[in-house]
Structure formats: C-alpha cells, structure tokens
Structure 1
Amino acid sequence: MGGGDAAGGTGGKQANDRLGSWFVRSGWSKGELARQVNRRARQMGAHHISTDTSRVRRWLDGEQPREPIPRILSELFSERFGTVVAVEDLGLRAAHQPPGASGVDLPWAAPQTVALMSEFSRSDLMLGRRGFLGASLALSAGPALVEPMQRWLVPTPAGPGGTGREGAARQDRSGHPVRLSGPELDLLDTTTVMFRAWDAQCGGGLRRKAVVGQLHEVTDLLQDHHPEAVTRRLFKVAAELAELAGWMSYDVGLQPSAQKYFVLALHAAKEAGDRPLGAYVLSSMSRQMIHLGRPDDALELIHLAQYGSRDSATPTTQAMLYAMEARAYAGMGQVNKCHRAVRMAEETFTDSRPEEDPDWIGFFSEAELNAENAHSYRDLAYVAGRSPTYASLAEPVMARAVELFGADPGHQRSYALNLVGMASVHLLQKRPEEAAGFAGQALDVAGRLRSERVNTRIRRTADTALRDYGEVPEVAELSDRLRVELPDDCESAAAQAV
C-alpha cells in the first residue's frame, strides 16, 4: 500500500457518516472503489497511490486521507451521481489553496490573464505527471460558476499598450523590442488547426501535453510589447489553445483541469475581442456541465453564449448553440423547449456557409448536428423513464450521424461516441442484441483512440446491458471482450499521455 494515501492523524476517530452515505448509495463495493481510485490516480500521474479495501474501510471509519485522494473521491462520486459532490460533502478536508490556485472567479484584466495562463500551463507541464496539479483543483458549479462568467460581457477599460510585467518589453541582443512577423503569426494559427485535427482523429490523450506546451509558449509571447492588433491576435491563439487544452483534459477525465482551462480561454477570448470564440468556449463549458449532470448550469452558460454573440456569430455557430440548448433542455425534461431548440438548430444550419466559418467551428457538420439532436431525444427518453417514444425519435437521427461519421476518418472519436449512443438507444428499445453489436463496433474504434470519455461510455453502456440482459449471448460476449480489451482497473492509454 503506497504511503501517498496515508492519513494524517488517527486518534479519536469517528465514523465518516457523510462518506458512508455516498458510498452506500453508489452501489460500489470497497474493492471497486479502491480500483476506481487507483485508476483515476494513474490518470493524474499520481503513481504512488495504491489503495486497497482495508484503506477504504479506514476512510469510512473516519481516517482523513491526504491529497490527492479527497479530490479523486469528489470526482468519482460526482460522475457516479451526475452532480457535483464537493470534498466537504464527503466529510473530508480540502487542502488549503493559495489565491488563484482554484476556483473560477478570476480578474478580468489582460496582465492577470496572461500571468494565470502562464502559471497554470507551466504547472500542468511540470507537475501534472506527479499528480499535484489535479489535486489542487475543485470543480465549480451553480452560481459560483455562472455568475463570474457573466462578467465576460462587461466592458473593461483599455489598458496601456502591452501586457508585459511592470510595462517592460523584452528586447533582443541588439536592444530592439521583440517583434513577430506575419508568417510567424500564421504559423501559430496553422499549428493550432493541426492540434485540433489530431484531437478529433485520435482523442485528447495523445497530444494534450503538446497543446499545453504551445499555450505556454504563446503566453510567453504575450509578455512582450506588441502593436494592439498583434496582441489581440496572440490572445485569440491563446484562447483557442486554452479551449483545446480544456477539451482534451475533459476527454481524458481531468474535469477540474478542463474547467480551469475553459475559464482561462474565455478570459483570453475577451481580451481578443472575439465574441463568437467566447461563445464557443462557453459551449464547451456547457458540454462539461451536461456530462456532470448539471443541465441547469449548462443552459445558463449557453444562454450567456447566445446573448453575447447574437450579432456576430456565423449561422453554423448559432446552430451549434441551439443544439446545445436542446441538450440542456432535454436533461431538464423540458420537452417543448427541447423540440423548439432542435428545430431552430436544424433551420439555422441550412444557412451555414463553411467558407465564412472559423476553423474552431468546423467540427459542427451535418453529422454533428444529427448527433447532438439524437442525443437530445435519447436524453429525453431517459428523463421520461426510458420512454420508447423518444427513443424512436432518436434512432433514425442517430443512425444518420453514425453513417456520416463512419465515412469520415478525421472524426473517429465522434464516430465511436455515436456508436455508443446508438447502442444506448437500442437498449431503451429493449433490443440487447443490436445494442451489443453497436457497442462492439465502438470498442473496435476505441482501440485506435486515446479517449477516456469513449472508454467510460462503452463501459457504462455495457454495464447497463449486462445488468438488464446478462443472459443474452451477445451481451455476455461483449462483457468478455471488455474484460480483455478494456479492463476497468487497467492503466488507460490516455493516462500514459497525461
């Protein structure tokens, strides 16, 4: 048993009833929770963590584990119950954090944005492999998340030229200010486009560190003095890279890190004066809240994005925001509003002009539109008690998404996610054989990806199938494949790259 998860003091312990309550409701055994903790620790790079059933028993008996265990438990229970379960909710003590180390309520000013991006990306690069970065963060939700983001729309007074420390511009050896040429700026844009394509094709685990490193280099450039147009362009690149770093972190299961990058990306988009890009960042934050079972927060973020970009976003971006609005309404069980948002997404997408779109919205194709709307119907089916009516609405739309993504080698992760979505729709329709077939296809694709999100969805869908239809041969065969090809307690491929 590794020393990293030992407790502080053990004298005078009382049973931790809060942790015990969450544990009982989870349905996990002590061994299963220990395996989940170990797997998440490896994803964070905290290889010194090695928990077993006796250690879990001691936590339930009142022992206080040291970081990063409390944060890991918070993430695991949050995902299990589809809502944010704070460290304190588990009866555990959160580590004291210096100002700015956690939380999302950051100063909306260029110098602070640059400093925070530089500090956070450097910490991720230098400390993330040892697990300390993830241990220092906590997810924000509700008003603590939404209210600070509303300040994205508040105008800020223009500061003096440059964002350098104490107003000093760095100079080269000849004593001249550092200057960037047009081709150099173009290369930064091209590199960001390349990273985005790699993420779509291979998943977030393969190149996450490279994106974080590139972000750190750009924030380094932002500490020099530049003409205003160059500074804005650098902030735009920083915003795109920070959003992508957040998206990749989300994809490999590092939820607190993902949220921090998204927040920094929104700050950078504000400094760039790019409202549509800021709306895109807010949509990524909304997706994360849907994933965490917070559709009300997701809806607030999407409405903020729509309001802030209503006069500047292209039809493609507007259609994407409507589709995300539908996802949020579906999670809330708001049937009529969900249908209206789906219809608005479809109608607005007909006005899409890809040649006018920025690269970051290029993912929102006909395939993605169908995928989002199908998942909205699928989510309505779950909220309505596994309604076959909404499942039947989801099936043809999801089938179209699968067909289109299957023909697109550049979006293999989306292909896998929609194969899993198709499997879940068949489970809702009580067709376990077909569900197992689609989940098996998703497993084939997952072997070529570095995406913990894909792996987790396959596991969850297979677990549901096994629980409800374990006697069906195709389901039993899928379960056997999972034990060999995607064991739950293995060190995931994503963890190796994180």
Structure 2
Amino acid sequence: MDGSGAGANTGKRPNDRLTSWFVRSGWSKGELARQVNRRARELGAHHISTDTSRVRRWLDGEQPREPIPRILSELFSERFGSVIAIEDLGLRSAHQSPSLTGVDLPWAGPQTVTMISEFSRSDLMLARRGFLGSSLALAAGPALVEPMQRWLVPAPGGEPPAPGPADHTAPAGAQRPARLSPIELDLLESTTAMFRQWDAQCGGGLRRKAVVGQLHEVTDLLQENHPPATRRRLFTCAAELSQLAGWMSYDVGLQPTAQKYFVLALHAAKESGDKPLGSYILSSMSRQMIHLGRPEDALELIHLAQYGSRDCATPRTQSMLYAMEARAYANMGHPSKCKRAVRMAEDTFEDIGIDGEPEPDWIRFFSEAELNGENAHSYRDLAYVAGRSPTYASLAEPVMARAVELFRTDEVHQRSYALNLIGMATVHLLKREPVPATTLASKALVVAQRVRSERVNTRLRKTVDTAARDFGDVAEVVRFTDLLTAQLPETAEAV
C-alpha cells in the first residue's frame, strides 16, 4: 500500500473541484502522478508511489491521506501562481497542532517564545525541502489580514514584555538566571546583520538552516530572566531572525513555512515594541502575497504597516512601504493609484538623512537601486495587467535600466541584480525585442548560478518560456533556451 489513498469506502461522488483545477492545469494524469511522487520524495515520504489509476480515483472522489492533499495544494498553487487551498481542491485537511499551523495566534510574550521555539525546532529536525510546508496551509484573505490587525492593539496597561515563559520548553524548576552580557547581546545583533548580508549576496538557500538555528538559540535566551531593556532587545533579535528565516524560506519556495515565520516575527516585534520593524515584516508578507497572486491582501497588509508606523518610521522605511503599495496597486490594475504611490516613494526617499536619524540594519538594503527596481517592476506589472501595454513598458524601461546599472557594481546585493536583469528582460519582451531580452537573461543566468535562490531560477525560467512561446523562431532565443536547460538545475534544495 502506497499511503496515498483514503482506504475508505469507494462509493464517492466525483470531485468536481479537483477535476476543474486538473483540467485547467493542462497536466496529464501521469504527469501529475510524477510530480506528486517527486515532491513526496523531497519530503522524505518514500512510501508514496502514485500512478495514473490513483490520480483517477482522486478525481472520482477518493480522499487521499496526508501529505497528499498538502502536496496537491502546493503543486496547483505553483502552477497557477496563486494560493489554491486544500479545500479549493475538494479535499479534507488532517487536523494539525495549533502551535504549528494557522496564523491566528495569541499575542502574548510567553506564548510567542514557545511558538517560535517549537516551530524553529521542528524546522531544524525536519529540514528537508518542503517538509514543514506540507504540514502547513497558507492563509489568505480575512483569515490572514484580520489576525494581523491585532498587531496594532496595545498591550494591557502598556506594560513591558512579561518575564520569561514557564512552559514545557523551559527546564523543570525555577526560571534560569540571566547569563547574557552586553557584549554577547551586541554579538547576537551583529550576527543577525551578517546573516542578512549573506542572504542578499548568496540567496536564501545557503544559510537558511543556520538562521533557524540562531533563532532557536535566541528563544532559549528568552526563557531566562533579563532586565526589561535586554528583554526587548532579545525580542527584536528574535523578530529580525524570524523575518529573515521567513524571507529565506520564501526565496527557496517554501511558501507556507515563510508565512509562518513572518507571522511569528510580527508577534516578536510587538513584544519588543518596535513598530517600524513590524511594518517591515508586514511588507515582507505583502511581497509574498503579490508573488502568490493576492494583490488585494498585499495592499491591506501594506496599509496596516503604514498606519502602524506612520509616526515613527524613518523616511527610508516609509519610502519602501510606498513602493510596495505601488506594486500592489499595479497588480490590481489601478494605474493612477500606482503612479501616485511611486511618486510618494520617490519624494519620501529624498528626505533620507535630512534629520540625521540613525537607521536599523534591516532597512539599509532599500537603496536608490532598490527604489528604482521596485518602481520599475510596478510599471512592468501594470503593463502585464493592461494586456502587455507598450506604454507602461516604456515607463518601466529607463527606471529598470537605472536599477540594473546601480546593482551592477553592488557586490553584496547579487540576488537583486539578477532579479532586475530578469525584470529588464521582461520589459524588452513586452516591447517585442527578443534579442536584447536574451542578452540580459544570459547575464542573469551567470548571476543565478552564483546564488541559491529558487525565486531567481523560477523567474528566469518563466521569462525564457515566454520568449520561446512568443519568439520561438528567433535564433538567439532558441540558443539561450537550450543553454538554460543545460546549465540551470530544475530544483534548488533548501538547507
């Protein structure tokens, strides 16, 4: 028995929902079976061996056992570029522990420490590609946005974070005494900054597990008794590491895992009292929603971030939030609102440094290059939403060219360089210029081979697929398509 069937009565009604998604996917039963088997092997579920007859039984109404429903949800979500929940496929989800699933979690310090500790430990123990993702479901719509709105609710009485948790993650007996010196705390914070630089330079696949391990160590420290100021700094460190673990998970394609880390990061940021950091975490969640084809959710998250940090965020952070607002409006097909947000991002960026206010390390990535890249992608997205509009493609071209030029000499932000090269290639495809598009894609391939980012790889493959579909008779396109197939691996493992 392969473990992929329900083992229940077979007199089921046909699963019309699954059949609809299956037909629209264009897959054959054999292709879907092969993809399920491949993903199952990545999860370590070697007992699963699906075939065409099993797929037929699912379409006929048989309910498969876990992790098949989660695998199907992930596969169809990736195929269509938006969240396809298990329930959307007409399948049932097995009950999961509330500490490891969902986003509607208690907003309290002790529970936050416990949840981060449990989740990071599980991630380390089950560190195979997609394994945790197979036990999680992506939240979207009100199920995501409404719990995040509680980030704005003040703590009772405005008290500082409570002392360390007395839960099953702590040793038996009295709470452990503090053993963290100021020098050690400084080192923790500098280590987080170093991890962030590695991610920008090498992609999320290189040091993800190291970041998760460091996060788990910080939760151990939060179980000790510290002065309030030290405790707030530790929660800030936990929030930054959890955001980074989420970002790296997002970068290698572990979407449910990424969302869970983002949610936990927001909880930790609330405990630290750091509203600008919370707004940055919400912007990461917003970017993920745009990636998953949920721009309305992205916009709500960005507006929540802007409202929550309007009186304390630096101009650089505010500019970044405006740029993300523009991306959301672009993907919703609202050109006037998109252009207004682009202008606000540019105007606010000019205010950086006027008051000499120091900025945290997590926002320093948002440079002139990043601003141009975001705004150019907004115009590029508008072009696609408007039916491949050459007008918006022309707006995107000079801004994207500026971003590419600035990132070209940036030795740290190599992933951003690759993404903007790909973005510029898509602009040329929109303008029906396949030869310069393949030239830029070739440069992106060189960078992609240096960074471990499934996001870069996927965007490069999609861009080349578009070029091959629209300009398959152009010699340069044919040559580069063959080169990409030979040199870029089909999958990237998360570590």
Of residues 335-344 and 87-96 in structure 1, the stretch that sits farther from structure 2 once superposed is 87-96
Gap regions ≥5 residues in structure 2: none
SS at match of 1:352: coil
In 1, Cα distance between equivalents of 2:192 and 2:135:
28
CA distance 1:392–1:160, change in 2 (3 Å): closer
Contact 2:25/2:79 (<8 A) preserved? yes
Q: Percent identity?
A: 76
1:137 corresponds to: 136
Contact 1:236/1:269 (<8 A) preserved? yes
1:150 corresponds to: 149
1:72 corresponds to: 71
CA distance 1:314–1:45, change in 2 (3 Å): farther
Alignment of 1:24-173 (within 5 A): 24-38=23-37, 40-41=39-40, 44=43, 46=45, 51-129=50-128, 132-157=131-156, 158=159, 161-165=162-166
Gap regions ≥5 residues in structure 1: none
Give 1:375's aligned amino acid.
H
Give the structure, 1 or 2, with the largest relative contact order (CA under 8 Å, sep 6 or more): 1
Asked whether 1:430 is paired with 2:432, we answer: yes
In 2, Cα distance between equivalents of 1:202 and 1:15:
47
1:448 corresponds to: 450
CA distance 1:355–1:412, change in 2 (3 Å): farther
Q: TM-score, normalised by structure 2?
A: 0.93
Q: How far is 1:22 from its partner?
A: 0.6
Contact 1:45/1:128 (<8 A) preserved? no
CA distance 1:120–1:24, change in 2 (3 Å): same
Contact 1:171/1:178 (<8 A) preserved? no
1:242 corresponds to: 242
In 2, Cα distance between equivalents of 1:441 and 1:27:
32
In 1, Cα distance between equivalents of 2:205 and 2:107:
30
1:476 corresponds to: 478
1:214 corresponds to: 214
1:461 corresponds to: 463
Contact 1:46/1:130 (<8 A) preserved? no
Asked whether 1:336 is paired with 2:336, we answer: yes
Give 2:93's aligned amino acid.
A
2:184 corresponds to: 184
In 1, Cα distance between equivalents of 2:241 and 2:289:
20
In 1, Cα distance between equivalents of 2:47 and 2:198:
31
Of residues 417-426 and 9-18 in structure 1, the stretch that sits farther from structure 2 once superposed is 9-18
In 1, Cα distance between equivalents of 2:393 and 2:270:
40
In 2, Cα distance between equivalents of 1:57 and 1:434:
45
1:381 corresponds to: 383
The CA RMSD over aligned residues, in Å, is 2.4
In 1, Cα distance between equivalents of 2:54 and 2:476:
37
Q: TM-score, normalised by structure 1?
A: 0.93
Contact 1:164/1:223 (<8 A) preserved? yes
In 1, Cα distance between equivalents of 2:261 and 2:111:
14
In 2, Cα distance between equivalents of 1:21 and 1:171:
53
Of residues 195-204 and 400-409 in structure 1, the stretch that sits farther from structure 2 once superposed is 400-409
Instruction: Give the length in aligned residue pairs.
Output: 491
Contact 2:197/2:412 (<8 A) preserved? yes
Q: How far is 1:15 from its partner?
A: 3.3
CA distance 1:294–1:185, change in 2 (3 Å): same
Alignment of 1:385-404 (within 5 A): 385-404=387-406
SS at match of 1:450: coil
Contact 2:10/2:62 (<8 A) preserved? no
Ranges of 4+ aligned residues in structure 1 off by more than 4 Å: 38-55, 166-173
CA distance 1:289–1:50, change in 2 (3 Å): same
CA distance 1:58–1:298, change in 2 (3 Å): same
